[in-house]
Structure 1
Amino acid sequence: MKTLYFDCFSGVSGDMVIGALIDAGADPVKLVEELKKLNIEDEYELTWKKVVKNGITSTKFDVLLKNHRHEHEHTHDHAHTHTHNHDHEHAHTHTHDHDHEHAHTHTHDHDHGHTHTHEHTHTHDHDHEHGHEHVHTHDHHHHDHRSYKDIVQLLEEADFSEQVKDTALRIFKKIGEAEGLIHGVPLERVHFHEVGAVDSIIDIIGTAILIHQLEIEAIKSSPIPVGTGKIRIDHGLYPVPAPATLEILKGVPIEHSEVRFELTTPTGAAIVAVLAEEFGSIPSMKVRSIGYGAGTKTFKDHPNVVRVIIGE
């Protein structure tokens, strides 16, 4: 039985999962093609490249949002305000303004030092202002304000396989229910600034696409470290893990970590909580492939990557 094990020794986020799956052999070009079925490719471009995190070569996956009011508005899966210095091979530095639910500010420097950077950027160049000319069959709102209902509709109308749809819907529902519970609104009325943001939609649906592309039959995971400390979000100073993340991880073993940072994001938590059938150490199996997906932040004493191990 083809088994995938999520080794989340540094936590998990949506972009880290996609990076790890690509690193383990999933086809990113097919991913780009499949995601076109959502009819929102005028809102984003995808990049992936090799980076080295504390000595481990891993794949960094990014969703760059295209928004002509800002140079790049780049919404990260864990809804904070970040300034990123990306050293891309084509030597321009993009500063991404993140407009986010948990506006707390970090500065990240990526250590892309000496790797051979394969940077494949798929650009769909549609000029678009907000009232864009090419009208899609579904009414899609600007990406910051898609509600749970909008996301379900987006998925229902896209021509994905039933398995991909079902997997993605279960992950969205998990986040929607947690957010709804915390903010006191019914699921249908949950407006995600966060999960409604295009990059989270891509991370979740992309994960579903790649898991099915790799023909994974069973999924297991390590316990999930969540980090410690406090984060500043719109509502003030909050504990780590954030309330939504903790709610999503109900029933999942979490692990204490000394790292004073939000190691696991709501999207990462929901992907693992929904997909993994059991939690524990690496299962007995013949290993076939291994992938490392890089997170954004770099830590002093351990590599900020998630590892996937695929075997029989």
Structure 2
Amino acid sequence: MKLWNTTLENSFILIGILQDSKYPGLLCATITFLYLVAVTSNGLLLLLIAMDKRLHVPMYVLLSQLSLMDLLLTTVISPKILVDYLHGQSTISFSGCGFQMFLLLTVGGAEDILLAFMAYDRYVAIQHPLNYMVFMRPKICWSMVATSWLLASMNALVHTIYTMHFPFCRTQVISHLLCELPPVLKLACGDTTKYQFVVYTMGVTFLLIPLSAILASYTLILTAVFHISSTQGRKKALLTCSSHLTVVGLYYGAVLFMYLLPSAYHNPHQDNILSVFYTIITPTMNPLIYSLRNKDVLGALKKLLGKGPSAPKL
């Protein structure tokens, strides 16, 4: 049997959600619309945080990084879906597949870790408000950002190189809309059992450990919130935390199902829908959740439009 990936000239054929749809044109238009909303909303949020000096506090620094990650995550996949549909073919080169896999693992892993740091930020703001700028001083805040990107990129680089070094001798068809690690690994020759166990272990590390930290932080946060005497203060704390928990639920729900559920319980159609959810839908909803429910962001937007000052508070 021929080992066809011995050069970089070969290509994969992606069989994604458009090929399975009865109305690919409508679906492509929907994805394009969601992508434009994601780019506009995340870009606007980045602009507001960068321009309004009163938003230069740890909470919004971390939020700006989340918007950047969401912007990159959806850009990795959405434009290619549109281009492939317009060209009538869904192919990706061997090197392009590896690069897409690296970007997805990097941005996705960085977002996992960042969400945990954001939960810690909210914990400090509510439990230790007087010492907030001590525990979350700029050096620590940017260290959190750097740690998220560094750990995720190192993990992504190792997995991408190791996955793409396998010879692919079964088929060039990937039953997925993008080059994610699990569907690509299914095409590899030889015994990949040990490596699949490593992938699963790293998935647990990058998903369950941050998720556990998030749940622990919010358990402590909710305990503290219910001891706040001021009804207004309690309401504001719950509103801020509910936005973060909504984002966490949207993102982790799909990713946990995709990466930690045994392969026997997966099917290509289901996996394609899940991938669309956390690479396109969630990045579109995240900035809307934060901006529509956050008075500080809305205040910065009004200031940018010349309709009044913003007054962010922790």
Fold shared by both chains (TM-score > 0.5) = no
User: Taking structure 2 as the reference length, what is the TM-score of the superposition?
Assistant: 0.25
Which structure carries more relative contact order (alpha carbon 8 Å, separation 6+)? 1
Give the number of the structure whose residues are more often helix, by fraction.
2
User: Taking structure 1 as the reference length, what is the TM-score of the superposition?
Assistant: 0.25
- The structure whose Rg is larger is 2
